Structures are given as structure tokens and as C-alpha cells.
Amino acid sequence: MKIIESERARTVSFSKRKKTLFEDAKKFATQTGAVVGVMLFSPGGKPCSYGSTSIEEIIENFLKVKLEDRQRDYVEGKSNGFEALEDLHKELQTCNEKEKKRVLMHKILHPSSEIPRDKHMEDQKLAMKLRVEKIKKETQNSILVEHLKFDLNVAPEPEDEEES
């Protein structure tokens, strides 16, 4: 699939496909009893939306549920990211203990030789590092979502054009 080159053809296609998309959303909501909302912007930047109830109400309920989930996690004292980090910390401690035992055993059995690298242990630590980075990104994303606030009842103000 590729973008339609002609701007006019793209606008016509958008209009037709928008209608079909909204009809499908309505059908889905009717058949399943789900609350459905669809938001999109035309190629010209004009916002369009469909909601089985008002789109504002759907977004408000969505954000409310997300906020309640975060508050519940906070009340319980742990967010999912902190739980995952805690699990990783325990796993790292276990790995470090195994590594200490391996080094100690090697020193006892082979006192004058160099301690060989443990490729498996290095791979495990690299995998843990990647998981920490993933948790960091997920946590940052959830913080960004928490700070996004917008009012759908307010039309965006047109940008002022500079006069020469």
C-alpha cells in the first residue's frame, strides 16, 4: 500500500473511506454493545470523529479509567514498572551470587590460573540491561500520557501569519 499521489484524489479517497470507517464503527458498536470512538484528521488537517456516545465522553472515560488504574497502583505502593525493576533486581542479585560462587570455586580448584569468562552470564546481564531500557521507555511513556491534557470542546486557534 502506498500514498495516493494526487492531493485531490487523496481528499476524495479520504472522504469515501472516512464514511465507510464510521459506518463500520457504528456497526461494531451496535453489534457488540461496545462504546466506540474514532478520531482522525483529514489531509487538510480538519478533525473528524465518530462516537457511539460523544467522543469527548469516550475520551474522558478512557482517561478516567487510566487514572484510576494508576492511582490504584500507587495506593498499592508499586507501579508495573517498579515491580518489573524489582524482579530484575532480584534476578541480578541471584546472578551475582552465582558468579561469586563460580569465581570462588575456580580460585579453589585452580589457584594460579586466570578466571575464564562466563559467556552465559554475560548474555544474561545483557538481556537484563535491555529489559531495563524497555521498562525505562514504558515508564517514560506512561509519564508523558499522564501529563497530556487537552480539551476537545475548544477549536484550535489559527496560527497568525506574519506580515512582511
pLDDT tens digits, residue range 52-83? 888 888 888 888 887 777 767 655 545 666 77
User: 3-state DSSP helix/strand/coil percent for the chain, to nearest 5?
Assistant: 65, 5, 30
Which residue type occupies 12? V
Q: How confident is the model at residue 141 (pLDDT cuts 50, 70, 90)?
A: low
Q: For the chain, what is the mean pLDDT?
A: 79
Does residue 1 lie within any of the structural domains?
yes
**137 & 62 share domain:** yes
Does 74 map to a domain? yes
Specify whether 34 is located in the same domain as 76. Answer: no
> Domain range holding 12?
1-53
115 falls within a domain: yes
Residue 39 near residue 25 (C-beta atoms within 8 A): no
Percentage of the chain exceeding pLDDT 90: 13
pTM for this entry: 0.41
What pLDDT sits at residue 154? 46
Give the closest residue to 24 by CA, choosing from 13, 14, 36: 36
Q: From 42, 40, 38, select the one nearest 58 (Cα to Cα).
A: 38
Query: How far is residue 134's CA from residue 104's CA, in Å, rounded to a whole number?
Result: 33
Radius of gyration, CA atoms only, the chain? 27
Tell whether the model's pLDDT for residue 103 goes beyond 80.
Answer: yes
Question: At residue 131, does pLDDT exceed 60?
Answer: yes
- The domain tally of the chain equals 2
* 162 has pLDDT over 50: no
Asked if residue 141 and residue 101 are part of one domain, the reply reads yes
Q: Which three cell numbers stand for residue 18?
A: 472516512
Which residues 6+ apart lie within 8 Å of 30 measured at CB? 52
Whether 119 has a pLDDT exceeding 80, the answer reads yes
Q: Cell numbers of 34, please?
A: 461496545
Which range among 14-18, 46-50, 151-155 shows the weakest confidence by mean pLDDT? 151-155
Query: What digits encode the pLDDT tens for the residues 9-32?
Result: 999 999 999 999 999 999 999 999
- What 7-15 contacts at long range (C-beta under 8 Å, 24+ apart), as own/partner pairs, is 7/43, 10/43, 11/42, 11/43, 11/44, 14/42, 14/43
What is the pLDDT at residue 27?
Answer: 94
